[in-house]
Amino acid sequence: MGKAIIFRHMLDNDIGVLSHVLRGRGIEFEVIDTFSESLEGFDALAPDLLIVLGGACGVYQEDIYPFIGDEKRIIRERLDQDRPVLGICLGAQLMAAALGSKVYKGAQGKEIGWQTIDISGAGMQTPAKYFDKNLTRIMQWHGDTFDLPQGAVLLASSPLYENQVFQWGQRSIGFQCHIEVDRKTVRSWLVSEAYDVGKGGIDIPALQRETDEWAGVMNGQTHKFFHDWLDQIGL
């Protein structure tokens, strides 16, 4: 039924609820921790699907984190050959960089919390429609943003950052937002990101309540999205 490879950059930035769908469809998957495992000799075109997850580092920090360059090369090779890629947060930024776009710190500051996104007309014709603001909120936790790659189709925006979801070709999609997280993961982030939390600006009790309210709703929409998208790409 196919095989997926997941590039993970931090242990608590995992595949989350996407794993339920992969297992349910009989799709084998393997997680590669790129922060500790070499990508030398990795066959970019071999996996039926590449999922690139989030992380706290920036695409522009390749001199500190050399795996960023390896991932950009692999992603570019796949996109050039129309091999499916799903990027989430840092993963979407890596997709944009691989396609020649600039990734940088967002002028509007960090976007954190359960937010709505506006699905474009083009987005409503794709499985991204399941994240429409009338159906769910989604988890945002990022400070970087990117320019939309030339030739990409914008599928969704937020009030703070225009480029939230984009499609490349017919078989690859990038999400700036976190569609994969569950309640437990978000609560973990509130501890692992204690430095940012401690700087103020985040109402922890309110975010915990919103997580309890919206995580399950978003997880249901993520299941619908992922099933439809995998059907679309033939997996």
Tell me the CATH number at 224.
3.40.50.880
| Number of Cβ atoms within 10 Å of the Cβ of 52 | 27
Q: Which two tokens stand for residue 141?
A: 């936790």
- Helix or strand holding residue 21 (H, E): helix 18-24
Work out how many domains the chain is built from and give that number: 1
Q: Is the pLDDT of residue 91 over 70?
A: yes
Helix, strand, coil distribution of the chain in percent, nearest 5:
35, 25, 40
Which tens digit of pLDDT belongs to each residue from 119-134?
A: 999 999 999 999 999 9
pLDDT (0 to 100) of residue 52: 98
Burial of 138 (0-12, 13-18, 19+ CB in 10 A): buried
Range of the domain at 11: 3-233
Which tens digit of pLDDT belongs to each residue from 158-172?
A: 999 999 999 999 999
pLDDT (0 to 100) of residue 198: 63
Average pLDDT for 134-148: 96
Whole-angstrom distance between the N-terminal and C-terminal Cα of the chain? 7
pTM equals: 0.96
Under 8 Å between Cβ of 47 and 4? yes
Q: Is the pLDDT of residue 196 over 70?
A: no
Q: Kindly give, in sequence order, each residue whose CB lies less than 8 Å from that of residue 167, ignoring residues fewer than 6 positions away.
A: 122, 126, 128, 152, 153, 155, 173, 174
The fraction of the chain above a pLDDT of 90, given in percent, is 89
Rounded to whole angstroms, how far apart are CA atoms 224 and 222? Answer: 5
Taking the alpha carbons of 67, 79, 175, 8 in that order, is the dihedral positive or negative? negative
* Residue type at position 224: K
What's the pLDDT band for 100 if we cut at 50, 70, 90?
very high
pLDDT (0 to 100) of residue 203: 81
Taking the alpha carbons of 113, 68, 52, 118 in that order, is the dihedral positive or negative? positive
